Structure 1
Amino acid sequence: MDATHPSAPPVALCLGGMDPSGGAGLLRDALALAELGCQPMAVSLAETLQNGLGCSRIDAPAMDPVQRLETLAPHLAGRWGVKVGLCALEADTFRRLCATLRHLAPPVRIWDPILAPSAGVGLHDGGDLRRLAADLLPMGGWVVSPNRGEAAAFAGLPPEAIRAADPSALATPWLEAGAAAVWLKGGHAAGDVVQDLWITRDGTEALDAAPRLPGQRRGTGCLLSASWLGLRLRGRDDHAAAREAARRLRERWDHAFTPGGMGRPMFAPVSTYLGSASLESAAREAR
């Protein structure tokens, strides 16, 4: 089966951090994308010492990620897209990576800008994210999916402003940097209701509101952005993909688990709680 075959899966390229436990990062991306019938490919932009208890170290990868990306280039044709996540690259290497992406021209693009893993050591501040954006976003067509903390840092706002900040003040700096749309996630906002916002230069659209679920889960940002990429590659439009990604996350919330009984809960693979018939039905629905 070649790429022109009508049933060939789309390719979803993930550029991000390697969390060896699979709770977040490239492994979480790959699981989410495979469940949606996509062929995941991955290039590490950050290596971590990380488990369910937290992250203790983040380094740049030993092998040149640009060479790895160039090696994958023959596979990147037809229906394909890219997700960018955690990045520990030096500025010159990231600039080369962006130049290669610009040449490859992925049809679907999402950047999940990460300041730090949810527990443990940090990596970036707002200035770092602005420097990454200056190289990545001018190529055009990027959806950026920050939470409120990441958006506030990018905008130069103090941490105490996160919950009360005007969404337009959080989104405008991304748009001015070149983003096509900002998917502002609502989990860090105040209140018992979570509501994501889809913000472009044309205005703001409130996505589906839902009650705040109890507890925390690892890898929510990774799961949402990877699911959005997979759903877009399966034919959803931008807004529908965001809504469905959020719905899929909520449906999985109660199926989180702690491997070995240790650490913070992570999302379980769908196959562990859906029977084969349900899996086949879910796969058909995603297509």
Structure 2
Amino acid sequence: MSMTEKSSDRPLVLCFGGHDPSGGAGILADAEAVQAAGAFPLTVITALTEQNTCGLVHLHPQPPAQIAAHCRCLLRDSQPQAVKIGLIGSAESAHTLAQVLDADALAGVPVVLDTVLATGAGQAVADAALRAAICERLLPRCTLVTPNLPEARALTGAQAAEDCAERLLAAGAPWVLITGTHDATAAVTNRLFGAQGEREAWDWPRLPGDYHGSGCTLASAIAAWLAYELPLIEAVAAAQSYTWATLEQAVRTGRCQLTPNRLSTPIR
């Protein structure tokens, strides 16, 4: 992209997520991944967090009315070509986001939902009410949901990835990508399930170390490729390749988990 191009010439991705002061995950990760794909991020913060690369200390959900007001302000001015939802913060905010997705400005716009139920270090950031709101209000409004296997199990009560996917599809999600980052296997296997019976799987070499923000990176990259109108399976494949490269080149910014190297990673 040349220096003379305007940002409005790039597709816009509306990102909802928490603010991670360490920059490893959350809205900063979303913005970096979207920009790395050549799209332009619009951001709405759903929660402030007190955290670093070692874990979460405290979660501060933002008022749902404030989230809605930020959305209305943005949508009066800009037309997103894709939406990415990450950490939500509360069941009330999930209901607000469902209403936002019903706005005329977002009709037909692809929505990628990264079901953030816990931090990379394992601390819970979603209670039973929020999990229920995700399943009942957000899944039917999304194009793709991207849980890891523990999140898929928490949302559905099933154990096997295939059973989890079937329940998420039955709840209204057209596509489900279940990532295998938490499996105790030599390779990371990511499985894509479609409501029309589509099935795809990708195997990636498991890298050493623990990473902070890999799920945010993947979901945001998918949203960016969808904003470019790439077919969904191609967008999922391209985003996985990019995400794996960001982890392979991850940097140490703190004492604990590594940070994906999103802006220095070539798009493949």
Contact 2:19/2:49 (CA < 8 Å) preserved in 1?
yes
SS at match of 2:31: helix
SS at match of 1:57: strand
Q: How far off is 1:57 after superposition? A: 0.4
Measured against aligned partners, the alpha-carbon deviations of 1:140-197 in whole angstroms (never above 9, x if no partner) come to x42100000000011124xxxxxxx432211122112111110111222342122211
> Considering only aligned residues, what root-mean-square deviation do their CA atoms show, in Å?
2.3
CA distance 1:173–1:14, change in 2 (3 Å): same
Task: Tell me which of 155, 160, 163 is aligned to 1:166.
Answer: 160
The code of the aligned residue for 1:229 comes to A
SS at match of 1:203: coil
SS at match of 2:137: helix
Count matched residues. Answer: 260
Contact 2:91/2:129 (CA < 8 Å) preserved in 1?
no
Query: Which stretch shows the higher mean deviation, 216-225 or 185-194?
Result: 185-194
Corresponding residue for residue 84 of structure 2: 83
SS at match of 2:115: coil
Query: Which stretch shows the higher mean deviation, 38-47 or 118-127?
Result: 118-127
Q: Distance in 1 between matches of 2:120 and 2:171?
A: 26
Corresponding residue for residue 32 of structure 2: 31
Q: How far off is 1:246 after superposition? A: 1.1
Query: Which stretch shows the higher mean deviation, 30-39 or 200-209?
Result: 200-209
Measured against aligned partners, the alpha-carbon deviations of 1:213-236 in whole angstroms (never above 9, x if no partner) come to 222211010000001111122232
CA distance 1:169–1:125, change in 2 (3 Å): farther
Indicate yes or no: 2:197 matched with 1:195: no
Indicate yes or no: 2:121 matched with 1:133: no
Indicate yes or no: 2:244 matched with 1:242: no
Q: Distance in 1 between matches of 2:157 and 2:128?
A: 6
Q: Distance in 1 between matches of 2:251 and 2:233?
A: 30
Q: Distance in 2 between matches of 1:61 and 1:108?
A: 24
The code of the aligned residue for 1:151 comes to A
Corresponding residue for residue 3 of structure 2: none
Q: How far off is 1:40 after superposition? A: 0.4
Q: Distance in 2 between matches of 1:252 and 1:90?
A: 32
Q: Distance in 2 between matches of 1:24 and 1:6?
A: 24
CA distance 1:122–1:238, change in 2 (3 Å): same
Q: How far off is 1:44 after superposition? A: 0.9
Contact 1:22/1:28 (CA < 8 Å) preserved in 2?
yes
Q: Equivalent pairs: percent with the same residue?
A: 28
Indicate yes or no: 2:245 matched with 1:268: no
Q: Distance in 2 between matches of 1:68 and 1:207?
A: 37
The code of the aligned residue for 2:118 comes to A
SS at match of 2:151: helix
Corresponding residue for residue 75 of structure 2: 73
CA distance 1:60–1:246, change in 2 (3 Å): same
SS at match of 1:257: coil
Q: How far off is 1:211 after superposition? A: 2.2
Contact 2:7/2:40 (CA < 8 Å) preserved in 1?
no
Corresponding residue for residue 20 of structure 2: 19
Q: Distance in 2 between matches of 1:138 and 1:250?
A: 29
Q: How far off is 1:10 after superposition? A: 0.6
Counterparts of 1:41-80 in structure 2, within 5 Å, are: 41-61=42-62, 64-77=66-79, 80=81
CA distance 1:117–1:206, change in 2 (3 Å): same
Q: Distance in 1 between matches of 2:69 and 2:75?
A: 10
Q: How far off is 1:120 after superposition? A: 5.9
Q: Distance in 1 between matches of 2:68 and 2:22?
A: 25
The code of the aligned residue for 1:42 comes to T
Q: Which has the larger radius of gyration?
A: 1
SS at match of 2:134: helix
Q: How far off is 1:7 after superposition? A: 7.4
Measured against aligned partners, the alpha-carbon deviations of 1:108-166 in whole angstroms (never above 9, x if no partner) come to 11100011111263222465322222122333x42100000000011124xxxxxxx43
Corresponding residue for residue 105 of structure 1: 106
Corresponding residue for residue 200 of structure 2: 206
Q: How far off is 1:269 after superposition? A: 4.0
